[in-house]
Chain A
């Protein structure tokens, strides 16, 4: 098993290399001059900038040389300059990443809490009305187009009911807390600013719920099936025979063993949420890398799209790696060959 884990970890750099190569090839296959993918239109008239960029990215060199230069720049953290913001893409992403991570983390907490609760109750009251309704709720979450459900929820809860504030991370006139972790919730807590914490959480609630809802089904389905399996085991029968109340059997005996496979799905859930975050951020004007990518795609800002894609793929790969390792660790019986 250790060999399997080591082999998986060793594979990651190769996959990242492949990801970066694909990003390079795509940036080269854009229609027209690759220079136009690196220099904003307004700077095209400035020969100094044009020649500097040409030298930096080796645009007068043949493709293989350009490839080496691209990789060298990438390793040094240089992903080019965004057309939209006219700032280095790496800086833009670094500034915006905490917002995305805060949203995804909150969504993951909501998704797993609801998913585990629903899965637990569904297994306990199998085939009951609750079981069916809960499974319907979970199925709806994974079938709704997130860019539409976000819009509808925003309309219901923000416009009609006025329970939640509008879009963005904070009210328009508020200033963000001092940057420590980049998570506004944690930073405002550390600053002891309760009003700001409340505001942060109220802004976070709706997008996090919309995004989290999309993974409730995955978690609930897994908890339900692994709990049902655990409940059919001998040790559960023994516990019941000894007169343990159903609640104790469910929580102390079955759930503890059923949780192991659930842990393994968290990495997968995280990877799924990265995808959903792109669209959620676009609807909620959430200033993370997802809305950055959407704005970049709309204006064909290739360096920015490429940068977000590489960062997103890295996160996706690491999350999948964590899933596989957790799975191998939790199920020593799985075949690790092949």
Chain B
């Protein structure tokens, strides 16, 4: 199963350029799209765009040379708002994935390695959390915390951590029975050292692939919560709340078009990239 050494795979992961070269075309497109949005997030405020919060022209104008994606009900430029929207949705999605991965993996690794009552408590909590349809749990938590993007982010971390806890626990349970772990224990390594040094480095691949694929879904849920009114608060140009504004001005289709395409591009890009990474790293399950 692990014919190439895991260490070599880790090295391959660290050399990004070589990795990029091995991605299929769709995966490369995915990387470029995500790169575009990452650059947009950090630099959009310096771009020569009209202010996304100010009236830039007449209300509800269809796309034209002056306003590439038209103007919304308050006369704001939809193109500028769509690009600025990246700075709301994407950082939230990144934070949610990072926290869910770190918290979930830590709990799952400890649960899987030490077992006992901690394992039982964590995994039953995960079971209950996974019993909710994700959007309903996120809605309930976000409503209890009150509207706002940070609260929506917290709600999404609560929804997502159990997935990584389960994933990491299963990995740890598998790796801990390998011979090198037994050798380390026989050599007198402490339990913490065995877990951190000998087991965890071999457990990351599925988590990273999953995190990549989940990123788009997290962005989608963040936009969904904003669409419902539990995420970003107006007048923020968040993609979900822009679509919500578009839904209330139904005949001006262009208001929702830009943010919808933006969300679609992020979701497609991450699933392309995730698929590509899985084909490279996970030889067990090629599609």
Contacts and interface: CB of A to CB of B under 8 A. Distances in A.
> Which residue, A21, A148, A221, A293, has most C-beta atoms of chain B within 10 A?
A148
Chain A's interface size range is 35 or more
Contacts of A23: 140
Interface in B142-173: 142-146
Interface in B121-154: 124, 127-129, 131-137, 139-146
B220 interface: yes
Given A15-B127, A22-B128, A29-B144, A297 B264 contact: no
B136 A312 contact: yes
B256 interface: yes
Contacts of A29: 144-145
A18 B124 contact: yes
A312 B140 CA distance: 12
Contact of B224 (A151, A221, A279): A279
Chain B's interface size range is 35 or more
B24 interface: no
B264 A147 contact: no
Interface in A102-126: none
Nearest to A274: B133
A127 B131 CA distance: 38
B132 A316 contact: yes
A27 to B, nearest CB: 7
A275 B134 contact: yes
A19 B128 contact: yes
B127 A18 contact: yes
Nearest to B170: A338
B206 interface: no
B247 A152 contact: no
A309 interface: yes
Contacts of A320: 131
A231 interface: no
Nearest to B255: A151
A143 B263 CA distance: 9
Contact of B246 (A151, A275, A293, A297): A151
CB-CB nearest 10 A-B residue pairs: A18-B128, A148-B260, A143-B267, A298-B229, A26-B144, A312-B136, A275-B133, A309-B136, A313-B132, A309-B140
21 contacts: A18-B131, A26-B144, A27-B144, A144-B267, A145-B240, A147-B224, A148-B263, A151-B246, A151-B247, A152-B253, A159-B251, A225-B287, A278-B139, A297-B230, A298-B230, A308-B136, A312-B136, A313-B131, A313-B132, A313-B136, A320-B131
Given A152-B253, A159-B250, A278-B133, 6 more contacts: A18-B131, A139-B268, A145-B267, A154-B250, A293-B139, A309-B137
Interface of B: 124, 127-129, 131-137, 139-146, 216, 220, 223-224, 227-230, 240, 243-244, 246-247, 250-251, 253, 256-257, 259-260, 263-264, 267-268, 271, 287
